Amino acid sequence: MKEKEEIKKICEKVIARIRPDEAERNKVKAVTDFIIAKINKKASEMGIEAHAISVGSTARNTWVSGEADIDIFIMFPEEVSEEYLKEEGLALAKSIADKYEERYASHPYIHAYFYDSEGKEHEADLVPCFSVKNASGLKSAVDRTPFHNEYIVKRMPGLEDEVLLLKQFLKSAGIYGSEQRRKGFSGYLCELLILRYFSFVELLKNASRWKYGEKIDIEGRGRYKGKDPLIVIDPVDPNRNVAAAVSLDSFCRLIDVARDFLACPAESFFYPAKKKEMSKAEFVKFVKERGTEFVMVLFEAPDVVEDILFPQLRKAEASVTSMIERHGFRVYRSEVSVEAEKAFLIFELLVWNLPQVKKHIGPPVTSKYHSEQFKSKYKSFSLRIEDGRYVVEVKRKYTDVVELLKNELRSCSLGKHVSESIDRGYDVLRNEEIMFSEGIGSFFSDYFLN
């Protein structure tokens, strides 16, 4: 009972800090209403049959104070073509914003900036979509969102604070957000988890016992057949797993931190400790103490959104790791990141230098045809027999991993945009050669101390 009261007090304190007050809600609502009215008026003036609606956390009162993401969807009749939607939708969105940038999800949208009555800047995504009659008639992935909004708005009243606690808890654990960089829990997924368990604490109690393949189906109509660490059936689309973006590590991180909080509740679980940026001198000291070798492949970050870039970086990471190990070197750990317009692959190696000589194992002596082929190919070499097979010693092409990467990196499967960037030039840096430009110190703080 004492522990239950302690958790309740902690949650109350956290909510008092992260729940938007009435003044903040009014400002966000005023900006949202202003954008919607402006879009609707401009659509009428341009002769475009479209109207705007508010969706997302600001429409559902589930945003953390100071972090309002205004999402405005511009609804077009489902009869219009995708080309018309893109052209007119973007033109309409751009016409009502003085400051904006074009971004891309399933199709282009506008990320715009607006100001409230006090001159404070607010960011808003203006997303054209089809106004389909039901979720089974989706013409693009974003068409699902208005149905999500309708589903949550009807069921969320009274549970908003529970969602805020969950979001803040996950942010502190570093697993909030479904972006490819993070592979964590989206806002919509947080809302569904609270709808399933009715409270933040009950969710943690259940999460602490989750097993791989945990399945949650609120409506009991799921038809999703995939295999993922966590499966949460989308109530508006039974074929979809809302938790598909959650990586195994993020899934396990929630299980782990839920157990820790329930065992020893503390307010600190909601607020990540500020990590000091690692200096280059500290990095060199860490490397020396570990006795490993760090090699960085550094290049200009391709000009694409992170959800396109990070899968390519991870594909490159896997391909390069495979090549390194095929040549006899050993990778202990690897990572990818983008910091200050620079992308990089980092490899920590247990073996980075090799002798000139390499044992090449041939076929069994008892295999007459293949034995003859092998002996013919290596007739100028000294052959011996070991464990019933021919063995020959050959000279390695690469004895240093940096030379391997400098000469063979382009032979790896790197992904379209990463490959194009690397073709324009890249550096291979080792240990103290690694430049500590903006963001690198934070990256290594996370790498060594997280």
Is residue 318, in this structure, part of any structural domain at all?
Answer: yes
Same domain as 132, residue 199: no
The answer to whether 309 and 417 have CB atoms below 8 angstroms apart is: yes
- 362 and 407 together in one domain: no
pLDDT band (50, 70, 90) for residue 46 = very high
Amino acid at 197: Y
- State whether 252 and 127 are in the same domain: no
Claim to verify: residue 198 and residue 57 sit in the same structural domain: no
Q: Please indicate, yes or no, whether residues 288 and 262 belong to a single structural domain of this protein.
A: no
pLDDT digits (tens, 9 = 90+) for 198-244: 999 999 999 999 999 999 999 999 999 999 999 999 999 999 999 99
SS3 127: strand
Query: What confidence score (pLDDT) does residue 275 get?
Result: 79
Is residue 110 situated within a structural domain?
yes
Please indicate, yes or no, whether residues 217 and 124 belong to a single structural domain of this protein: no
Q: Please indicate, yes or no, if residue 258 is contained in any of the structural domains.
A: yes
Residue 2 has pLDDT above 80, yes or no: no
How high is the pLDDT of residue 165? 98
Task: Report the DSSP pairing between strands 389-395 and 293-300.
Answer: unpaired
- Asked if 177 and 307 touch (Cβ cutoff 8 Å), the reply is no
Domain boundary among 211, 243, 270: 270
Q: Could you tell me which residues come within 8 angstroms of residue 123 by beta carbon, excluding any fewer than 6 positions away? A: 69, 70, 111, 112, 113
Q: Are residues 174 and 50 part of one domain?
A: no
Q: What would the two tokens of residue 314 be?
A: 């991870």
Task: Tell me whether residue 150 is in a domain.
Answer: no
Select from 246, 270, 294 the last residue of a domain.
Answer: 270
* Model confidence, pTM: 0.90
What is the structure's pLDDT at 83?
92
In a domain, 264, yes or no: yes
pLDDT tens-place string over residues 390-405: 999 999 999 999 999 9
Nearest CA to 304 out of 279, 270, 338, 330 is that of 338
- Rounded to whole angstroms, the Cα distance separating 320 from 414 reads 8
Domain assignment of residue 3, yes or no? no
Within-domain flag for 23: yes
Q: Within this chain, do residues 311 and 391 fall inside the same structural domain, yes or no? A: no
Query: Two tokens at 234?
Result: 């989308």
Q: Which is it for strands 214-216 and 230-234: parallel, antiparallel or unpaired?
A: parallel
The total number of structural domains that make up the chain: 4
Contacts 24+ apart (CB under 8 A), 406-415: 408/323, 409/297, 409/320, 411/323, 412/316, 412/319, 412/320, 412/322, 412/323, 413/315, 413/316, 413/319, 414/312, 414/315, 414/316, 414/319, 415/311, 415/312, 415/313, 415/315, 415/316
Q: Radius of gyration of the chain from Cα atoms?
A: 27
Residue 152 in any domain: the answer is no
- Residues 136, 210: one domain? no
DSSP tag of 117: T
Instruction: Kindly report the CATH number assigned to the domain that includes residue 365.
Output: 3.30.70
Last residue of a domain, one of 238, 270, 302: 270
User: How would you label 2-27 residue by residue, b for 16+ Cβ within 10 Å and e otherwise?
Assistant: eeeeebeebbeebbeebbbeeeebeb
Check residue 119 and give its pLDDT. 86
Using a pLDDT cut of 70, give the percent of the chain over it. 99
Q: At residue 1, does pLDDT exceed 70? A: no
Domain with residue 226: its CATH number is 1.10.1410.30
Per the structure, the complete domain to which residue 308 belongs is given by 280-354+398-449
Mean pLDDT (whole number) for 316-343: 96
Q: Are residues 170 and 111 in the same domain?
A: no
Give the model confidence (pLDDT) of 130-168 as tens digits: 999 887 778 888 899 999 999 999 999 999 999 999 999
212, 196 Cβ separation under 8 angstroms: no
Same-domain pairing of 73 and 181: no
Give per-residue pLDDT as tens, 271-292.
988 878 999 999 999 999 999 9
On whether both 58 and 86 belong to a single domain, the answer is: yes
